[in-house]
Amino acid sequence: MSHNTIAINQRMDKFDGHHRVWLFGYGSLIFKADFPFIERRPAHIDNWTRRFWQGSHDHRGTETAPGRVATLVPQEGARCAGMAYLITPEVFAHLDHREKNGYLRLAIDIHFEAGGSEEGLVYIATEDNAAFLGEAPELDIARQIASSRGPSGANRDYLVDLAHALREMGLDDPHVFEIEQHLAQLD
Ligand code: SIN
C-alpha cells in the first residue's frame, strides 16, 4: 500500500528562511543524485542503521508486488555512513515527490568525514508508515528484490548500485553486502 508523505513533508518548517540546507543520503540518494547540489561530502549520522525494510510500490516495485528499498532504523551506538549534499530549499519539491512512499523529513546532526558537523535533513521511512515491510532474513530480502521491478527499474539495480557506491566510498555494510551476495547466487 502506498502512503503519500508529500503534504506532511511540505509542512516541515524547521529550515524555513535558510538559503542552503544539508541533506544526508544513505540509499538511492547516494548513487542517484538527480537534483542540483552545491557540494557533496562523505558523512555519517549516529544511532541509525541502514536496512532494506521499506516497501517500494512506486519506484522498484508495484502496488501489488512491492520491492524492497533502504530505510533507517534506530540503533543505539550505530553509525550510518553515506553522502551529504548541500542544496537550496527549492530542491525539496523534487525530493518530497521522489521520497513520497512513506519517507518523512527528519532533522539530524550530520557529521562530515573530513571534520565538522551541521544540522540537516534526512528522509526516513519509519515502521509506522503503510509501506513498511519490516525485518526479514537477508536471503528472503534478496529473493524479493530479485523478482521485483517498478517504474524506476529493477529492484536488483538499486541494491547492486548502492553496494558498489558504498564500496567505492570505502564503506562496509554487512546487511547490504550479504543481500548482494545472495542476489549473485540467485542469478
Ligand atoms: C536516501 O537515499 O537517503 C533515502 C532512501 C532512498 O531514496 O533510497
As a whole number of angstroms, the distance between CA 70 and CA 139 comes to: 16
- Burial per residue of 39-73, b for 16 or more beta-carbon CB atoms within 10 angstroms, e otherwise: ebbebbbeebbbbbbbbbbbbbbeeeebbbbbbbb
CA of 26 to the centre of ligand 1 (A): 6
Q: Is 26 in the pocket of ligand 1 (CB under 6 A)?
A: yes
Q: What's the full length of the chain, in residues?
A: 187
- Look at residues 137, 134, 141 and name the one whose alpha carbon lies nearest to residue 158: 141
Average pLDDT estimate for 86-106? 96
Q: Is 176 in the pocket of ligand 1 (CB under 6 A)?
A: no
Average pLDDT estimate for 15-30? 96
Place of cell 557529521: 111
Q: Is 27 in the pocket of ligand 1 (CB under 6 A)?
A: yes
Domains of the chain and CATH, by start:
6-186 (3.10.490.10)
Query: Residue 27 CA: which ligand 1 atom is closest?
Result: 2
As a whole number of angstroms, the distance between CA 181 and CA 12 comes to: 39
The reported pTM is 0.96
Q: Is 70 in the pocket of ligand 1 (CB under 6 A)?
A: yes
Judge contact between 116 and 44, C-beta under 8 A: no
Note the pLDDT of residue 1: 45
Joined grid coordinates for residue 100: 513520497
As a whole number of angstroms, the distance between CA 43 and CA 26 comes to: 10
Active site residues: 99
pLDDT higher than threshold 60 for residue 2? no
Note the pLDDT of residue 187: 81
pLDDT higher than threshold 70 for residue 125? yes
CA of 31 to the centre of ligand 1 (A): 9
- To test the ligand 1 pocket, which listed residue (123, 145, 169, 171) has its Cβ within 8 A of the most ligand atoms? 123
